[in-house]
Structure 1
Amino acid sequence: MRLAGRRLTKAQALKAQADEAQADEAQANEAQANEAQANEAQANEAQANKIRFIEVQAK
């Protein structure tokens, strides 16, 4: 009986570790999405600057 209790505790610990790894992965995915969004914003800003430059040249 005591051995079964230890195995259950180990199984619970492994599940907690797996849950934590899954949460870490979700957080990493969110960080990657945020970085992609920041890169897109930077590209949009560069495009806007390019348009402003062209508008100034056209005057």
Structure 2
Amino acid sequence: MSKKAKQSREEPIDSEWVVEADYYARRCGPTHDEALKLIKDAIPPKPVAHVAGKGKDR
């Protein structure tokens, strides 16, 4: 049996981001999708919690 390919899941779009993207698109001129991408890129990613004691160097 072969392994299944990992599917990349995008995070669900927050409704506040959609409203902000609509406003920015109307005021500044980019398309809705471009404005949403700009907002998503501007927000830093969530920190990843590391499990202690699971490294190779232990």
TM-score (norm 1): 0.26
Structure number with the bigger relative contact order (C-alpha 8 A, sep ≥ 6) is 2
Relative to its length, the structure with more helix (as a share) is 1
TM-score (norm 2): 0.26
